[in-house]
């Protein structure tokens, strides 16, 4: 005679503080921009929206820009808002993948608290 026992298992993840997720406005006429420009430079101009954040997270927000060449910029902001940062690449023509993270602070490991935007930059020197 065979018998089987089945268990119902319910998993839940606790909500830690105000674990919200801001949203990066996608590229477009009034959206974020990731672009290369003359002089082997890259630019990230990022616009964000509240997303699931209904109130200011206690630690504000963090943004990170990984430039694809092993370097990055980051900053903590006390309020939600746009930011812009420029990067100088090595003096060679190349293509780089740039990744931007905008997160509620502190990031909550059990919840998606960051939005990510990825773009490509081609570096070049302007013709004189």
Q: How far is CA 27 from CA 9, 35, 46, 72, 109, in A?
A: 42, 11, 9, 21, 27
pLDDT in tens, 26-61: 998 889 999 998 889 999 999 999 888 877 777 788
Q: What is the pTM of this model?
A: 0.77
Q: Report residues of the chain scoring pLDDT below 70.
A: 1-19, 106-112, 125-128
């Amino acid at each position: 005679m065979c018998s089987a026992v089945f268990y119902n298992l319910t998993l839940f993840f606790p909500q830690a503080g105000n674990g919200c997720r801001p949203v990066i406005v996608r590229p477009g006429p009034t959206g974020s921009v990731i672009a290369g420009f003359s002089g082997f430079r890259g630019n990230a101009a990022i616009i964000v929206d509240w997303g699931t954040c209904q109130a200011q997270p206690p630690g504000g927000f963090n943004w990170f820009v990984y430039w694809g060449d092993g370097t990055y910029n980051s900053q903590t902001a006390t309020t939600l808002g746009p930011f812009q940062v420029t990067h100088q690449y090595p003096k060679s023509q190349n293509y780089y993948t740039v990744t931007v993270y905008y997160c509620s602070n502190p990031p909550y490991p059990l919840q998606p608290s960051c939005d990510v935007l990825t773009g490509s930059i081609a570096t070049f020197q302007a013709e004189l």
